[in-house]
Amino acid sequence: MNKPLLGLAMMPEADFVSAILPALQNNSVDVLEWSFDTFYDVEEPEWLSGLLDFYAENDRLLGHGVYYSLFDAQWTSRQKDWLKKLKEETKRRKYNHITEHFGFMNTENFHQGVPLPVPLHAKTLQIGKDRLKRLQDTVEVPVGVENLAFSFSMDDVKEQGEFLEKLVEGIDGFLILDLHNIYCQSCNFEIDMQEIIRMYPLERVKEIHLSGGSWQESAYGNKPVRRDTHDDNIPVEIIDVLPEVFSQCPNLEYIIIERLGHTLDTEVKKQLFFDDFNKVKEIIEVSDFPAGITKAWNKRKGESSEPVEDLLLYEEQTKLTKILFEGNTVQSVKNEAFHYFNPENWDKEMITTAQQIIKKWNPY
């Protein structure tokens, strides 16, 4: 198998651009990933358009969505508009593939925050498959889904691999395996990274994400909570496990390093980021990659139908977001009666973390 291409998630901030300039100039950045929907309503600076166009023209640009929200149980004009803009974007610029995140973002400021998980259920799966099919119908390239860092419970951790496999099979889709997201789950639920990774359909993994994050102090005097904040170096535990992960993913094509642009604000941070990039590059050079199961991707033609909706699930998503925002006691959240969600089984530390995240992104 050819070795996967190493690249970066592109950020528009000046600090980020100056940090990656040496790697761009010596042609070390094989591929760029661009979160196209972060600029849906913003004018791209000329230098950014030029760089993205250059990678697109050389078949080296990946598209990564943030705000579609695959599991919103109500189909809204917001999602329709998102797909319409995506169609225009993919006509304007060639992407090798398009990806989105697992989870839902049912908040007033839907364009901020982090996706929350949904449990594996016949109805949640039906909604996710419907939304993913609409995404695939919009574009002429393969579509994939990224695993989620945040989990309320061990059940969320254990069922996500199976959920993702069922989700993408209808469109012959693929997975982004975000190893820092796995690392967060490993730390927060005290389960070995490889044990979690083995729960995923690794033959579906086409892309790997690498990043760092931060520790949040425990609300209960326990070990700190690991957060996927993209603002630090890649943990050594992830670097160490890379060769083994590479050997388990026969169809891996891309490895993308992520870092928020405004967090590279000193020369030391820029150098450490560059060191991480070179470390990963060296590991790719010396690692063995299994022979891929090469098969041509063909877009599946499906019947157009009315969007799948579920009013009860929508009400519960809205209610969950509201009670987390209002900062109710953890016990009162655990006592809430839901049909789809099981808060009685949720980890109290993770409930508190979700409250803090939602409060941060929806301050009013």
Look at residue 181 and tell me if it is in a domain: yes
Total number of domains constituting the chain: 1
The pLDDT, as a whole number, for residue 301 is 81
The pLDDT, as a whole number, for residue 196 is 98
The pLDDT, as a whole number, for residue 106 is 63
Residue 94, SS3 per DSSP: coil
**Alpha carbons 77 and 300: distance in angstroms, whole number:** 25
Question: Which residue ranges in the chain fall short of pLDDT 50?
Answer: 109-112, 363-364
Report the DSSP beta bridge partners of residue 63: 34, 98
310-347 pLDDT, tens digit each? 999 999 999 998 899 888 899 999 999 999 999 999 99
Look at residue 337 and tell me if it is in a domain: no
Question: What percentage of residues in the chain have a pLDDT greater than 70?
Answer: 96
Look at residue 108 and tell me if it is in a domain: yes
The pLDDT, as a whole number, for residue 110 is 44
The pLDDT, as a whole number, for residue 172 is 94
The pLDDT, as a whole number, for residue 118 is 92
- How long is the chain? 364
**Alpha carbons 12 and 262: distance in angstroms, whole number:** 9
- DSSP for 144-194, please give it: EEEPPS--SSHHHHHHHHHHHHHHHHTTT-EEEEEHHHHHHHHHHHT--HH
Tokens of 293: 């199961």
pTM of the predicted model over 0.85: yes
Look at residue 39 and tell me if it is in a domain: yes
The pLDDT, as a whole number, for residue 298 is 87
Look at residue 116 and tell me if it is in a domain: yes
Look at residue 100 and tell me if it is in a domain: yes
- Domain residues for the domain of 99 are 5-299
CATH number of the domain enclosing 30: 3.20.20.150
Look at residue 346 and tell me if it is in a domain: no
